[in-house]
Every structure is written in structure tokens, then in C-alpha cells.
Structure 1
Amino acid sequence: MGKLTVAKVRSAKPRIGADGVPTRATFQDGDGLFLLCAPTGAKSWMLRVQVEGKRRDIGLGAVDLDGVGRNAFAEGDNRLEETPLMLRKQLTLAEAREKAAALRKLAKAGANPVGERDRLRSRVPTFAEAVTEAHTALSAGWADRTAKAFLASLQEHAIPKLGTMRVDAIGSAEVITALDPIWTGKPVMARKVRSRIGQVLAFAKARGWRKESLPDARELRSGLSKQKRGGNFRAMPFADVPAFVADELAKHVTASRYAMLFGILTAARSGEVRQATWKQVDLKAKTWTRSAAMMKMNVDHVVTLSEAAVALLERFTPKDLREGIIFPGTRGKALSDMSLTKVIRSAGSDETMHGFRSSFRDWAAEKMPTIPAMVAEMALAHKVGTATEQAYLRTDLRDMRRDLLEGWGRFVAPSLSGTTENVIALERAKKV
């Protein structure tokens, strides 16, 4: 227990010399912590430690009597609590003891406590540096896909405008400047970038690199033009999909074209199709097993393959060449997202790959009414039901999903399904 008390700190006064002139007084608390009282009456904390065999006196900050410094903050303002101890310029007795103990441990461990104090006190990183540090610190709790998307989006859309700025100098105006080029042209990406910029600035604030509050959402909205309503992916009416697929099947076989067709037949996301490997596919069992790392919901998912999907894969790749990525691009690497979009555009359509998932969902609702809606949602790898329902649902409804996707395959690609018509035979509803 230290020798000092709050009362002693408050009553401490400078020493009065024989000539009546006040001089600095030193009061020891213990474990190297001292209270200094200057001739003017100003009080501060000092830590005395041994660093590499030499005595070092380290200033810790001014004295905060009974939390007077805290009273400077308005009620509800948590900035002080969010400021790391090393960055605080006023310390109560308890805080001085805590800060001294931390620096003393560093000295005993062979580190330079002065350097550590000054590093934390003076270092304010740029936005680009803060992005790197935030990504390193936070990505441990993210899926690999999320971590990559976080970094890639900020590197492309935020760092070019904000990268060289200190994080404590970034406000609403600077964020608006970064978002403006993509706000209306790429609204979905713009909203993600806005959120991720906020994450970086919040991380910087938690580390004590900025004191100002985060940019106000209302200010950001006021400074940016209104985005178009909707934002849904353009989808082809399901009745038009069979003709579209037939036209594409009649064209030259390419990896991007067949990847696009496989995506339509399986109602899968573009990235899942482009990253698909032969190791994930069992043609005999008619399944495509996708690991949690590939999935948006971060949960393993098994896709049932229709006769049409299996026939497409067999037509695309001879049996002795079925290894690695199913639809390889240049040098055997995965295709880019734009390669699939380019196929759709070259066919004179402006739909998106994701939009074909909507086509499948509309078809399932209108043409397969005997199969519960939950089955279609699970076929799309969507999370279904409440938390309670999910806890009790121990099946992935694979048989019903197989019936549904088989029907979809016959509808959109009858030539691959061994039929000549896209007429679906509806079975009696199965119990869930």
C-alpha cells in the first residue's frame, strides 16, 4: 500500500527555503512513484525506475484531485474512459499508481518505458495505417471472405482519398469526398465502404488516436445525393430463362459461359461457382459440397445437382481432366466476376448472375406450390426460421431440395435433362 492518500495529495505544498522562497517538494508513495509539488503549487506525478542499469525519472502527468479532470466532461461523454491510460495528461492517485505499475513492468521486462509512453502519446497513424491495424486486430473474429472484402473495398475506394490523412483529422466532409464517386453508381458498395470507414475510425478512437466523435450519419446523408430506391439485382422473368439457356448452350463452349449456366442450374452465387473445384463434386451422388469458408452464411452447404447440372459438367470436362477448379480462367485460376457478366451482356441481356437466383425463387413460388417455401430458401443457402426453429430443425431437407432443383433443371434446360419439354411433374407435398 502506498504512503500517499488523497488527502495528503490535496494538502501537499512546496517546500519553503530558509530565505522564505518556495522550492519543489517531493513526496514518495512507494514502488518508485513520487508526487512533485512545484514552487508555483502545481502538482505532478513522476516514476523512478532502473533502465539498463541507469536511473530514469519518467513524468506521468499532472495531478487530478479527486477526479476533477473528469468533471470537465459533460454527463454521458465517455471520452475519458475511452482514452488509454498512457494518453491521459491528468491522473488521480489511483490512476498514477496504475500507470506507474504498467511502466515498471515494461522496465523489468527489458523494454524502454519512456519510449513506450512517448510512442503511445505521440503516434497518430494515417487512415491507411489505421486500416491495416484495424484489419489485423479485428479479422481474427471474421470469416476469411469478410476480412478480404473489408481490406479490398477500403484499398480501392477509401484509401486513395483518405489514406495519407491522420485519423484524428477525418470528419464528415472527408468521408463524403471519399464516398461521392461511387455513391450513386455503386450504391451497394458505397454503403459497405461507409460502414467500413466507420469501423476504422471507431477502432482509432478506441485506441486513443482520435478524440472527436465519429462522423454523424445525418451529416453524411445531407452531403450525399439521394440513392435510387430499390437496389435489387436485375432478374430475368423465369419464363424467359429456358430460351436464354437454350441459346447459350448452342454457342461455343467456354469456361465463363458454362460457369454462368451452372450457376443458373444450381441457383448458386457467382463466387461459389467460380471457386468450385472438382474435389467438391460427387457426380455419382449428384452433390456439390461447399465449405463454410465459401459461403456467405459461413455454414457448410450441400447443393443437390440435377440431371441437367450433371450433364453440363460432363459435357464441359472429359473424365480424365476433372481436377482443380471446374471452370478455370487464365493460368488455371478462378474466373473473375466480370467474366460471367460479360457473357450475359454479350447475349444482349442486362440481368445479373445474382438476379437468376431471384428467377429461380419466383419459379419455385409459382410453379412448385406443393414444396414449402422453406425448401427454396434452403436451396438458396439462406438462413431460415427463427433461432428457436433453427435449433429444432435438424435436417437440411435434402430430398425435397433435390426434387426442387431437379424440376428447375428440367424447366430451364430440358435438353440436358433428357426431356424435350420444360413441363414439371408436380409430386405430392412431403412433410417437413
Structure 2
Amino acid sequence: MFSALKKLTKLNDDRCPAPMPMSSSLQKKFSRGVHFNMKILIKGDRNVGKSCLLQRLQGGAFIEEYVPTDQIQVAPIHWTYKNTDYIVKVEVWEVVDKGRTKKKAPLGLKLENQTTPAVQEDGYETPVLDATFLDVYKNSSGVILMLDITKTWTFEYVVKELSRVPADLPVVILGNHCDMQHHRQVHPHHIEQALHHAKLTRTAPVRYAESSMRNGFGLRLLHKFFNVPFLRLQKTSLLEQLQRNQKDIEETEKELDDFQNSEESHYESFVDRLANKRRQNNGQTEIRPSNDRSPSIVLGAGKPIIPPNVNPLVRYACFKRFVEVIMPVYQQSGGEDPDVSKEPDIKTEKKHKKKKSKDRGDYSDKSDRKERKHKSKKSKEKKTNPQQDLLAPAPIDFNYEEYDSL
């Protein structure tokens, strides 16, 4: 809002110097996010040192020349609460109660041949940002009321303005030009009396301090004073969190009551739902792999598998081997795998051996040796396998006449 108003009232004159722009370090700091925003106001009568205080809070040097400020000036400053990780954006407002407006000449054409003198139109006034234009106390966190200890009317302004400051805003009254004690007109007992009357009606703290912008005295006290509005902001934030927490607790208690009054909290309904789920799971057909051994597949479906790029002599030898060796065995087994047909015979042999062993009882040493030899002889015998015979090398008796006939 303030930037929009600033553009509205931007003028092409040099009525007052602009505050120092935001430094790159502050821009980098605020780019990561801000935890708290603080708005500090500097109010006081004219020529008490408000602009110089704003310059000093930004880290600038003391300016000896007095330049009146015609409208509100805003500038951010460096400030942290006791080296904590909180990122606090502190904006200091130099408030002007009544800004000085400047008239602009009306736009029009000047006619040289005009016989009657033209009526001079009054110029229009440009708006300025001052305390009459907007409410400066809105969203404020603290107030600095400045006075000049060498001028009594500045003290009267502070007493009058203190009654207008909201009661919940912390205030510090800053007596400037304490380096000019020999010209002092405002004495401490006057200030103590004003503070006593103010504390009777205010809830926020009020205190008095003195400063000198020439040598920077009092700036450290102001940095410590900023702790008060920050802690009040933090307290307000924590109270809001506690209220939200209490509201969440009440809602959770209500949800628990509703759950206990519903059917889901009854044990019988829970058991029924559990049983229904089990029935549904048991009703689903599960595909289980069968343990029965499937018959072996004869490669080539009764025909020899020969790569296309094989020498025709080797192809003919493979075909002849297939016809003479594999086909007779395949026909004798009835189209079944000979390994599968032999399995039941092996099982019957094992059962027969077990029966014999039960009938005989204990073996003698000679009979054991004979049986071991017999088993070793059987294991050494080669089993006929059509697929291995196909892959095994065999002597080739090639007949070119038969190959030509094919």
C-alpha cells in the first residue's frame, strides 16, 4: 500500500532527501523469509532530530545541516534479537504530522493577441504522505517520541501526543541534544510527572531516555528497546498458537466421542467384518502350480533340427542318424519320453529291494560286497537317450548316389 501511495505522490522536486536504500545484505536476509514484521514510529515536533535518528539507525553518519522533511519516510534497519535465528524485518517510519504541499501551475495556452487580461487560475496542490493522509498507528509495534531538551514546546507536543498513542503500544520518550546541557529547558522532574500520569492509563510500558545524535549516544538503548515490541509480538503469536491448539484438542475429543458411539467401536461388528473379509479371501480361486511332471518335449516334432548354414554333408549325416537311431526308439515307446517310462520301473525295483531286505534280515559281509559290485556295474552302464545320441559324434558313411537321389 505504501509503495502505491509513494508512486501516487512522487514529485520531481528536491524537497527532502530520500532515506538510504535497502542494503544487499538485508535483501539477502529477507529473501529467505521473515518470521516477524515490526513497525516502529518516530514522532515529534519539527527540528527535534527525527531524520537524523533514522539516518543513524541505518548506520549513517551525523548530518549537521537541517533539511525539513515534507512527507513520511520509511527505511528498514539491521536488528536481531540476542543473536537468535529469528529473521525480523524492522521498518522505521519517520512520521510527518502535516506535510508541505507544493502548488503546480495550471496547464494552458498563452494567447498573445488577447485584448482582455486573462484571469489567473490558481494552481492545484499535490497530495503528500503525512499523518492526515493515513493512520500511522495501524499495525505498529512501538513508538519513539522525540523532544528537544532545549525547547519546551517540543515537550508539550510529546505530552499531547502521548495521550493519542494506543495504550497497548510500548513507548520510549527520547530527549535529544543531551550534549547541550547548558541550554537545557526541559528538566527531569517535568518528564517524571508526565510519565506518572501516562502509566495510570496505559497497559504497555513507557520510559524516558536521553540521546545525542552527534556522537551516537542512546542508539544502543534503542536497540534494546526493540526487544519489548518483539517479545510482545512473539507472545501474541504464541497465544494464537495455544488457542489453535486448544481448538484442535476439543475437535479431537469430539471425534473420539463420535467414534465410540458409532458401530465401528463395537467388538461384535468388528468380528463380523473380519469374518466377511476372510470369506471373501477364501472364495477367491488361487492358481497353484501343479507338482506333476509334464512329459518331455521331443525337439523338432519328429524331424531333425539342422541349422540352415550347415554343410550339406553334415546335414545328410544328421538325417541318417535320426532315421536309424532315434525313430525306432520313439516308435517303441509309443510316442512318450523313454525317461518317463523308465521311472515306474525304477520305483518298483526299489520297493522290491526293500522287501527282500526285510525278508533276509542281516546281511553277511560277502553278500554286501556282491551287492555293492552289482550296483557299481549298473551305474557304469550307459543309458540310451535319443537326444544325447543325436548330439554325439558318429562315423559318417556318406553315399553320394543316395544324396543325389534325394
By the TM > 0.5 criterion, same fold? Answer: no
Structure of larger gyration radius = 2
TM-score (norm 1): 0.17
Greater helix share, structure number: 1
TM-score (norm 2): 0.18
